[in-house]
């Protein structure tokens, strides 16, 4: 994925697309669902997926609502993979069974994210470990795709220690775990209370790979303390959010901007919106947009980003030693005659690891 994202500066790295707004749950903090919408037709979804592929999109994430309510989900995943794009899925997990997981395997799914909000369901969220633990066990046993279990911290969370319990259970099953910070209705910052902040820092994993998005957590570290981030948001260009009506938005929390039909969206639109300064950026908590910005920051100033990554690692784990991949990247960005030879070798290594 890393190597694909570096191909150019003017294609979407990640696009989230909504095939159905309806959800089988009603989490009180969520503003991305309803209880009545009908699924977008498969024919229309294929047109939208083709348009994203034609724009050069690296990854397409199917979200919702609850995308597993769509009767043609597997066909959409297959279509994404036929177009040479990585296919990922965000789900609440309620509809997962062993048979359903095998169907996702056959469809060619690359990655799945499931959020578990608490240990015992409450009025805020029914996405609890009590309900979903068996689903996680099924994923660990049957999934041929990568799985991340995301726990959350923030003001709506009554029992912050639940995030630690969820993360430890996910890791015990061999699944990747991350922790997110809940945003307000506009995707903006809600700083963590002290007890939440302690758990957040405790859950950061010093053993993660150097280019794990969870590892590059400068954004969330600032957010957790109520501090703004100085960064350039490239939503509308490098990140796209496609709603059920087929309109392009900056993200799930900034719907209506730019609000252009995907079928009319051009490379000129990608470049214009990527360059536009978004006033919501300093206090944004939408991590998937931050992740695309990380890749562009590396593309534009690789030495500085590598130094920041290494410094963050050493701060968390003084025994840390950079891996061979990092040495390859150092070679790639050398100045002088060695760059051509060593750069080619580094790129081959990156492609092998991506």
DSSP 267-324: HHHHHHHHHSPPTTGGGB--HHHHHHHHHHHHHH-HHHHHHHHHHHHHHH-TT----H
Helix axes of 161-172 and 194-203: crossing angle, nearest 10 degrees: 10
Cα 328 to Cα 92: distance, rounded to the nearest angstrom? 38
Residue 160 CA, chain-centre distance (Å), reads 22
Q: What confidence tens digit (pLDDT) does each residue in 101-142 have?
A: 999 999 999 999 999 999 999 998 999 999 999 999 999 999
pLDDT of residue 283: 86
Cα 18 to Cα 24: distance, rounded to the nearest angstrom? 15
pLDDT of residue 329: 61
Q: CA 349 → CA 2, 161, 166, distances in Å?
A: 11, 40, 34
Phi, psi of 46 (to 5 degrees): -60, -40
pLDDT of residue 80: 98
Cα 337 to Cα 209: distance, rounded to the nearest angstrom? 30
Cα 88 to Cα 58: distance, rounded to the nearest angstrom? 11
Q: What confidence tens digit (pLDDT) does each residue in 166-205 have?
A: 999 999 999 999 888 776 555 556 678 888 888 888 887 5
pLDDT one digit per residue (tens) for the chain, 354 residues:
556 666 677 899 999 999 999 999 999 888 899 999 999 999 999 999 999 999 999 999 999 999 999 999 999 999 999 999 999 999 999 999 999 999 999 999 999 999 999 999 999 899 999 999 999 999 999 999 999 999 988 767 789 999 999 999 999 999 999 888 776 555 556 678 888 888 888 887 555 544 444 445 567 778 778 888 889 999 999 999 999 999 999 999 999 999 999 999 999 999 999 999 999 999 888 888 988 888 888 777 777 777 777 776 677 677 877 666 665 665 555 444 444 544 455 445 445 444
Cα dihedral across residues 157, 159, 161, 165: positive or negative: negative
Residues of the chain with CATH 3.20.20.70: 2-300
Q: pTM, whole model, 2 decimals?
A: 0.85
What DSSP line would sit under 84-153, residue for residue?
A: T-EEEEEE-STT--HHHHHHHHHHT--EEEEE--BSS--SS---BHHHHHHHHHHHHHH--SEEEEEEEE
pLDDT of residue 331: 57
pLDDT of residue 215: 42
Q: How many CA atoms lie within 13 A of 318 on its CB side?
A: 0
- Domain 2-300 CATH assignment equals 3.60.15.10: no
Return the structure tokens found at 124: 């805020």
Instruction: To the nearest 10°, report the CA torsion of 296, 298, 304, 306.
Output: 150
pLDDT of residue 324: 65
pLDDT of residue 267: 95
């Amino acid at each position: 994925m890393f190597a694909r994202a570096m191909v150019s500066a003017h294609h979407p790295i990640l696009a989230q697309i909504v095939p159905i707004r309806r959800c089988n749950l009603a989490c009180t903090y969520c503003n991305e669902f309803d209880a009545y919408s009908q699924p977008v037709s498969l024919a229309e979804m294929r047109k939208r997926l083709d348009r994203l592929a034609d724009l050069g999109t690296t990854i397409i994430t199917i979200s919702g609502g609850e995308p597993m309510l769509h009767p043609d989900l597997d066909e959409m995943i297959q279509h994404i993979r036929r177009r040479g794009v990585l296919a990922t899925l965000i789900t609440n997990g309620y509809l997962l069974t062993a048979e359903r997981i095998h169907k996702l395997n056959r469809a060619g799914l690359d990655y799945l994210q499931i959020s578990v909000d608490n240990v015992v369901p409450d009025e805020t969220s029914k996405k609890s470990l009590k309900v979903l633990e068996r689903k996680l066990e099924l994923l660990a046993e049957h999934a041929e795709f990568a799985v991340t279990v995301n726990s959350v911290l923030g003001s709506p969370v009554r029992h912050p220690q639940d995030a630690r319990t969820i993360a430890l259970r996910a890791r015990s099953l061999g699944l990747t775990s991350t922790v997110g910070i809940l945003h307000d209705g506009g995707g903006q910052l809600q700083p963590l209370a002290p007890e939440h902040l302690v758990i957040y820092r405790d859950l950061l994993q010093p053993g993660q790979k150097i280019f794990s998005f969870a590892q590059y957590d400068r954004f969330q570290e600032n957010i957790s303390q109520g501090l703004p981030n100085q960064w350039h948001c490239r939503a509308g260009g490098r990140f796209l959010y496609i709603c059920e009506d087929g309109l392009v938005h900056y993200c799930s929390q900034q719907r209506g901007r730019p609000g252009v039909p995907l079928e009319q969206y051009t490379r000129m639109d990608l470049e214009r919106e990527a360059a536009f300064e978004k006033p919501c950026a300093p206090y944004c908590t939408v991590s998937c947009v931050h992740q695309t910005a990380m890749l562009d920051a590396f593309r534009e100033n690789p030495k500085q980003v590598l130094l920041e990554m290494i410094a963050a690692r050493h701060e968390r784990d003084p025994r840390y030693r950079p891996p061979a991949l990092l040495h390859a990247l150092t070679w790639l960005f050398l100045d002088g005659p060695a760059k051509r030879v060593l750069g080619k070798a580094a790129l081959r290594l990156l492609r092998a690891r991506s």
